[in-house]
Structures are given as structure tokens and as C-alpha cells.
Structure 1
Amino acid sequence: MNPELALVLLMLAVSMGLFIWGRPRMDVVALLVIIGLPLAGILSLEQSVAGFSNPAVLLIASLFVIGHGLVRTGIAYQLGDLIVKHAATSEVRLLVFLMVSVALLSSIMSSTGVVAIFIPIVLTIAKRLKISPATLLMPLSFAALIGGTLTLVATPPNLVVSAELVRNGLQGFGFFSFTPIGLLLLALGIIYMLLVRRWLGGNKQANQDTTRNSLSELADAYGLTDRERRLLVLPHSPVANRPLDELALRQQYGINVIAIERPRKFRRVLELATRHSQIRAGDTLLVDLASPAIALAGAYQELGLEQRPLPISYYRIHAPQMGLAEVALPPESTLPGKTIQELGFRSRYRLNVVGLRRQGKALPGLLVDEPLKAADTLLVAGSWENINKLYGQSRDFMLFNLPAEIDEVAPARDRAPFALLSLGVMVALMVSGLVPNLMAVLIGCLLMGLFGCISMDSAYKAIH
């Protein structure tokens, strides 16, 4: 028995054992075998994926999985925020920044991969800015193709021509030999797209979900906008190192703490407030005031708090992590007559009641002692996970209006560093040429799954 046959039999035995055990899933085991056979030198990659007819189909499908992993971990939305931030409100700056970013990335990796990664980012940007996706998708495609003219490794034909020159005793191309021509083509491509963008659907807004309100619309409907504040806990504040339920800020001062921005080494993390949340010096409290006049009454000074800038609603800033939802009282509800304090939403469901609407009008002031009436509508704030848990929780209320931003929720946000690592490994393998592009992408997909950035069900959904 030769070593190759022994290795094949071993892989077959291990695969059968994993199939019987049921962990990992059978499709994951099959993918491991597809990657393992070429890496072991038993088959070529083309032979290993011959059952898929065309390797390009598998490559594109795998790149969609990589892109979906970036969406599930929130990286796509963060990149979209970064691009929008640099572009401000200018569609011209947005198009230029997008094309330059895509072209530079395409200069070191597969243009197909870059497009697959940027498609969800571009769709997110178009939705947020309410512009037609076609205005950005066509420039995305052009920039990815132009990126192939920027470096030697950007596209296979560059390498083929350079290798042929060397084979005939001539000097091959350097890494940046194509760059001057590529930069000129990129500049001309950007100018062209700026001129023709009006015919790419730029005068049409992206289709919006008119059946659902946005977070901003919900906040305005309940009068939250004027009541939102960011308050810094000063070093010698009397509220520092004490739990929220002990402070009784809502009852005594009309200050309802929704969430806490807590500094870490290189970033600030968001923690949703509960009755047991411990306040620390240096924290920034996201609060809902019973009345905007509270700050004038000296409460901030008494509590050792300092107001910080809040350019837009903090619900919009932290939309991927927390949100708002409307809760209605059905006719058979037993809650009418009870106060919001008696409902215990924060302790039972880890959600804050921040608004109450009666007969279509939002009630002002401190609502904790307000008796509920039939057909009242409550506005609750908290994490999307806890909001979704309200489905079917009780016959006394029903969750009926979720804002459009719930589509941008990143269920695997804590896996974002691992998603970046997986993407980095894939790009490094592509650039180095150690393995074929298809192998690099498949390894990236496996790493995404191993680190919990994607599930197999979400991977199939991304492809479909």
C-alpha cells in the first residue's frame, strides 16, 4: 500500500466517523475533504471540485459567503459608516471615495472577491442615503476592473505577460510597472462615472420600506428627541460605584438611564442598562429625561454629571445594538389600570418603557406612575435580542411595530475581529499565491464558520 492510498483511506475513515457522529455537519465535513485532498497533493484543486462543473461558480458562491460574514459581524455596516462619514452629504465625494477604495483593494486581490465584499456595503449606503443602488453598483464594478491595471498581481494576464517576457530572456514587469497607466485609467473612470451617473438611476431614490417607521420617526412620534442626553460621570460623582436601583434616578430626578458607554483600552463599548448596572467614573450615560428642564434645576451638578455633545439620536448612533419598538395592549389585556412601574419591564424583559401614546398623542413627563388604559401603545427601548424575545411572551401585550433599522442588526457583532482575521488570511493567501484563489476563499469560509461568524444556514441563505 503506497502512502497516497493510505492517506486517502485515512481521510475516508475519518469522514465516515464524523458523518456517524454528526459533528460537524456533513456539508462541513465534505468541504474539509474537498480542501484536504488538494492540500495533501492527492488531487489537483480542479479535480477536487470537478463535480461543480465550473470552479468559477464555486468561487463566486464562496465569496458571497465571505461577504455575508462581514454583514453578520457588522463590519459591512462599519465600513459603510466610514465611507458615508468621509463623503458627508456629497454624492460626488461618495462616488470618488468608493471607487478609489475598491480600485486600491482590487490591486492586491481578486476583483470578483472585492465586488462580492462591497455589494452589501454599497446596498447599505444606498439605503441610508435613500439613493438608487444602481448609482453606486456600476461604479463599483468599473473600479474593481480598473484596479486590475494598478499592480503586477492585480490580474492574471499581467503575471502571464511578465512571465513570458522573462522566459524569452527579457526583463519582466515590476510590481508597480502598471501603476502610472492604471492611475490614469482610474481618474478617467471616475470622471466618466461622475458625468453619466444621472443616467444610472441617480434621480430615483432606493426603494424604501414604507410600512415601517425608522428609529428617528418613532423617536419623534413619542417626543424623545428633545429628551435624549449624553451625560459624563465625573471622577468624584456621588453616583459612581453604585448600582442603578440604589440611585433611584428616575423616581427622584426624572432621569431614565437607557444605556452606558464604557471606555475600554482602544474603544468605547455599549452596555444596556439594567437595575443592577454599576455606574463608574468616566462612563457616559445615555439617558431619557422626563423633562428637558431637568438640567436647569441643578440636577447635573448635584449628581456630578456633565452634558456631552449629541449630534444625532443615540438610538441612531447605536442602531446595530439597541433600538425601539412599539408594544400594543390588545382588547383582552389585563394590564389596563396598572402603572408602568408595576409592569416591571426592565426587571422582567430587560427593556425600558420610554414612551406612552394614547389616542394617537404622546404623553409628556414622567410616566412610571401613569395608569394604563385600553388601546394604549408603549414604546420600549433595549437590545434587539430582548425586543425580539417579546414575541409570544404574554397575551397582555403584543409587539407590532419594529423599525426598519432591524434589518441592519449584526447578530455576530462580537465575532467581528475573527471575521477580519478570516478575511485577512484569505487576502494574504490570494496575494502570496501560495494556493489558488478558490482554495484561499474556501479556507476563508471555513475560518468564518469555525469562529462563529456565520452559520451554515446563513451561508446557504447568502448564496441563494
Structure 2
Amino acid sequence: MELYLTFGIIAFGIFLFVKEYFTIDTSSLLIMMMFIVTGVLSPEEGFYGFIHPATLTLGCMFVLSSAIFKSGIIDGLSSKIIKIAKIHYLMALLVFSVVTAVLSAFINDAAVVAIMIPLALLVCKETNITPSKLLIPISFAACFGGATTLIGTGANILVSSYAEKSGLEGFGMFEFSKAALVLSAVGFVYLFLIAPFLLPKRTSDEGNKLEEDAENYTTEITLQSNCPDIDKTISKSKLVNDFKAEILTVTRQSEVLDDLSGDFILKEQDNLKILISPEELVNLQQAKGFSINGYNVINDLLNTNRQNNFAHTDDVPNEIIKQIVKVLVPVGSKLAGKSLKELNFKNAYDSTVLAMRQRDETILKNLNQIKIKEGDLLLMHTSQAPLQKLTSQNLVFVISHYQKKTTNLKKAIPAVLITIGVVAAASLNFTSILMSGLIGCLLLLTTNILKPQEAYEAIDWKVIFMMAGVLSMGMALEKTGGSALISHYIFRYLGQLDPRLTLSFVFLVTFLSTNILSSRASAALMTPIVISLASAMQVSERPFLVAVMFACAFTFMTPVCNPTNTMVYTPGNYKFNDYLKVGTPLNIIIWIVASFSIPYFFPF
């Protein structure tokens, strides 16, 4: 009975992952709780994922990556990257891809891509390169780099840790690097010789679509003497409640007021800049007391932004100068999964969202009700202080202009040395990657390179909760005999063939499932299965485990198969089919090469 329950819960979990009714971490936790409630796993077994070595190690890697980025040392390379990238498109492709891959081998790949996106957009703005020709290669390069080391991806850490918990030998820091470099080299050849012809070329005008669409939803009105909203607060005004308008600024006796709360009282002859849908604007024109001036607010604010550019003035402090910025919601942002209303966004961050873009859909109506998703592009009216608050907490990162951090050598050098020490200690087998990671994090805190709150905020808790949840799937499969049963059927039909064919089949199934699920979910499901399969075939488990790791890392076919693909979707103005067109041939090539190269480096 428990076996059927396990398969049923996993099937239901896959359904949740595909349909995206909830965020992936919520779905993972729901699956874990179902295993516990049904008795398939005891509470201790179900919650074990939270203290699993893979989960703890991944948390340490988030903290170490944050210390590197906060020090500004990578920003110090930005001027050189930009200078080389401006030479020619192929040089831009080369420098961005190589730098991204190298950094992603040791630092969280999503954080690396978060740095590279605004740099790439700046290069595109100053050359004739379109973002759509550059951002997918950056995402793919992050996958190449992540596959080369044990700490490069969460899936690598998970597979190695799971193998150790099963009584097998874990993987060394660079044990599979040679095999990964072969596949990465094939990937780079594809990026430089084939991908440029498959990548879409979308004009720069399409990149400004968010602003252009928002312009159609903004106007300026004046409150006449017979206006029903006079002496009413914003929260109780007809303008907000009946016409669903968003009030951006109020000009009163030549004074522009933009620090507006729901308790702000409107007065006669107030001049309001508002965001409103065309349909409601028609209704507003027919209402009494509202004089519509037809003013283009977005253009005005953008012009003000260009003139001020956060510059100091004698009259206005730098921190309160308002401007329009485009920001991206990164993978792991705490904004994802919640609406602006739930977040109390305007009051909490003193900022107004003017428009939102999810994938290739621009949203301008009922913004407060829309659930924010990872990878969303937001057009915000904000000032420097709240923007810094949002970026420092990794809630958003700015892509409309590049903000270079000042390199703090007092923190940068120790942070780099500690990270090198963590990698070296694990590589030389002085201790496990978990122990070296924990010691590294402790050193960062005791030397005040990171404050405890910064370390806490550095951890992507959604990934941690997701990791704990998906590990319960693998544990349930193993406990109920599900992994042995699946491996039995694979062995029955493929076990008598050349082991390379079986390994090729494992790689194919894993990378196809990763393009639908997450890489960590696929790794958690496939690892116990391939361990049982190798045992049944009486061959080494290591080539199969490496196949699972590589299949999870080298996935490119959809915008949701890895976090970096999600992050570049909107800034690159991509469509879903772009990933299929560019990623599918690469995945097939990698699959074929891996089927021969993995057994060469890891014999059966």
C-alpha cells in the first residue's frame, strides 16, 4: 500500500510542479507533508531533508557567494568586461560566456547572471547588439560552469551527498571536472558557431515595450470644485476605489508631492499624475469633477530621471529624488508568489509599480492583485533609498542602468581567501565540503565580513525548503522499494545491453524531466533509482551518478528548466519557442557526447 501511495504522491507532486499552482518550494513542502501524514515517512524521516548534508552545504554556498558579491570585487572587473565586449559581437559573446562560466563554477550561478545582465544590457545599448543575441548564451554558460565542480550546482551537491548517505563514496571537488569540461567545450563551440544563427534578433524598440505600454495608461488630471474626492483620503477616494487608478504624484501650489500614503487627503485644484486603464479613463472622462489634461506621465518621469540620474542638487537630497527604473525579480526573491497588496509594497518600500511584465505579457491593470513571479520585470517609480533597500535584500536587481559597487578590499581579499580555503580544504580531502563550508561561514561572521543578518538574508530559503521537500521524494522511493522496482524494470529491458546504452537512457530521462521539473527534484528522484540500477547490473554507480548530475546541469530547452534561463527571459525579450529552438539541438548534442565521454572518464 505504501508503494502505491508513494507513486501517487510523486505523480501529484509532478502535476503541481508542471501546473505551477504554487511556488516550487510550497509544492515541495506539500509533498513532504503528504508523505508524513499518510505514514509513508515518519516525521523524523520527512523533516530529515532540512538537516541533510546537501541542504546544509547549499546554505553555506549561498553565504560564501554573498560575501564575494557584497565585497564588490566582481564589479571591479566590469569595466574591463565592458571594454572588451564593445569590440564586436563575437568578442561580447566570448567574454560574457567565459567569465560567467568561470565564476559559476564556484559561485551561485543565479547571482553571477544577476551581475552579467545589466552589464550585457549596457553593452547592447552602446553597440548594435540586441539583448536577445547575448542573454541566452550567458544563461547557458552559467550552466556549463556550474557542472564542472561539486559546488557548482545544488544538484551536484545533492547527488554526492545522497550517494554518501547510501554508503557510497562521495565525489571530490574536481573529480568530474574533466568530463564536464569536455561537454562544456562542446557547448561553447555550439554557442559561438551555431547559436548566433538560431538566436532571435529583436529590435531595441521591443526592449522599451514596457515603458511604451505604460505610457498608454498614464495621464494627468486636476480635481475641480465639484469633485467628489475633495477632502477625502486616497484610500477612500472614488479615483482609487471606483476607477482603479494609481496616484503617482500630487502637485499642490507648485509643490510636487510623491510621498503619498493611503491617509493623504486630496484637495481642490490638486494636480494628479495617475496610472489608469484606457477603459477606466473613458469612464473617468464622463465623471464630474475630474479635468483630464492628457499629460504623458511616464515620458515626463523618464526625462526627469535622465536629467537627475540620482545627482545631488542644492534643494533636493539625493535619497528622495524619484525616478523610473526597470528592475528584475530574481530567482529566490521573497517578492515572488505574493501580490503587491499582500506585500503592502507602496508603504513598505516607498515605491510604486507602474507596470509589470511576466514572460511576454505586459500587465498594467489591477497590478496590486497580480502574483509576482521570479523573472518578472517591474517598472518602478522610486528613489535611491528604497531602491537600495530592495536590492540589498536581493528582492530585485536593477537592469535599466548599471550600478557599480565600490570594491571594499578590506572585505574582498579575506572573502576571496576564505572561499579559496573552503574549496582547497574539500579538494585536498582535509575535510568534507560541508565542514569546510561551515567553517568558512563562521570565519565570515567572526571577521565581520558579513553580519549575521546579511548571512541570513543571503540564503535562498525557497531553495532550502524546496531541497528539503524534494529529498523526501527520494527517501520515500528508497524506503518503499519504489526505486528498486523502477530500476528492476529498466534492468529488465535494458540491463542486458551495453551499459553505455543504459547510461544514455538515464541521461535522456533525467534531462527531459529536468526541463519539466527542477534540477534538484529530478536529481532527488533519479539518484536512488540509478543506485539500485547499477547494483542490479553489477557495475559501478559512479558513471550513472555523474550522468544524473550532468543531465541536471546541462538543460536548456525551456525557460523554467534552470534559474538562469528564467532570469534572462524577460530582459532578452524571448519567447518560449526561442528556448526550444536554441536549446533542443544543444541538449541532443550534449546527450550524445555524454553517452560516450562519461564512461571514458568513469568506467563501468
- Taking structure 1 as the reference length, the TM-score comes to 0.37
Bigger strand fraction: 1
